[in-house]
Amino acid sequence: MANEDLSSKVAINDPLTDPTQKAIIDQIIEENKTRPGATMVVLNELQANIGFVSEEMQQYVAEKLQVPVSRVHGVISFYSFFTTTPRGKHTVKFCMGTACYVGGTPALIEKAKQILGVEPGQTTPDGNITVEVCRCVGACSQAPVIVIDDEVIGRMKPNRLPQELKKIQIVTE
Ligand code: FES
């Protein structure tokens, strides 16, 4: 039973099993496969149009472009703007610029981990919140800064984090 649940979840998360998304993926590959640097161009377009590049998509791209899958993996892991899982509905970013880092970002990330159970680069299992780190957002005088969706929130403290996250969390009890 548990296995069945898992496989249906994986299928939902795999754009290659969705006819509309697969058509988009095929079109992107078709339009770009003969360009110089096709691997990078295709992956970039997939990230922009599908929102992430799953393991299955990476294998599919490698097959279609006839390049080693290790090269595709290499590109995906080298550039931080690629994500391999669907993004959450909301995004919480922690500024890792010097002022924020020194001002306490690591403690904020630790607190977020306790509250949400995920680390930067991951999304909560309910698909609601993606946690990320980011570069300086230009609000250093208010360090440490977090960005929830598009809202920059300065002078953040670990004990203030729960109330900020509550605004976007799905309450299930
Ligand atoms: S270092 Fe965080 S806003 Fe500049």
Atom of ligand 1 nearest to the CA of 105: 2
Instruction: Please name which of 72, 71, 62 lies closest in space to residue 29, comparing C-alpha atoms.
Output: 62
Residues 122 and 56 in one domain: no
Q: How far is Cα 139 from Cα 142, in angstroms, rounded to an integer?
A: 6
Of 56, 78, 100, the residue at which a domain comes to its end is 78
Residues 56 and 117 in one domain: no
Cβ of 137 closer than 6 Å to ligand 1, yes or no, is: yes
Q: How far is CA 124 from the centre of its chain?
A: 11
Q: In the predicted model, is pLDDT for residue 2 greater than 50?
A: no
**132 alpha carbon – ligand 1 mean position (Å):** 14
Per residue in 77-89, pLDDT (tens digit) is 998 788 888 889 9
Q: What angle do CA 40, 44, 45 make, to 5 degrees?
A: 120
Predicted confidence at residue 59, as pLDDT, reads 97
Mutate to test the pocket of ligand 1, among 145, 146, 147, 151 (most ligand atoms within 8 A of CB): 145
Of residues 67 and 169, more confidently modeled = 67
Its domain, for residue 152, covers: 90-166
Q: In the predicted model, is pLDDT for residue 7 greater than 70?
A: no
Domains identified in the chain, total number: 2
In a domain, 27, yes or no: yes
What number of other Cβ atoms are within 10 A of residue 62's Cβ?
A: 17
Share of the chain above pLDDT 90, in %: 76
Of 78, 105, 140, the residue at which a domain comes to its end is 78
Residues 18 and 46 in one domain: yes
Q: In the predicted model, is pLDDT for residue 151 greater than 90?
A: yes
For the entire predicted model, the pTM comes to 0.65
In a domain, 172, yes or no: no
Mutate to test the pocket of ligand 1, among 108, 136, 155 (most ligand atoms within 8 A of CB): 136
Predicted confidence at residue 96, as pLDDT, reads 95
Report which secondary-structure segment, H or E, holds 146. strand 146-148
Q: How far is Cα 130 from Cα 132, in angstroms, rounded to an integer?
A: 7
Residue type for position 67: V
Q: In the predicted model, is pLDDT for residue 171 greater than 80?
A: no
CATH number where 94 lies? 3.40.30.10
Find the mean pLDDT for residues 87-109.
96
- Protein residue closest via CA to atom 1 of ligand 1: 97
Per residue in 25-50, pLDDT (tens digit) is 999 999 999 999 999 999 999 999 99
* Residue-averaged pLDDT of the chain: 90
Residues 74 and 94 in one domain: no
Per residue in 105-118, pLDDT (tens digit) is 999 999 999 999 99
Predicted confidence at residue 4, as pLDDT, reads 39
Confidence band, pLDDT 50/70/90 cuts, at residue 173:
low
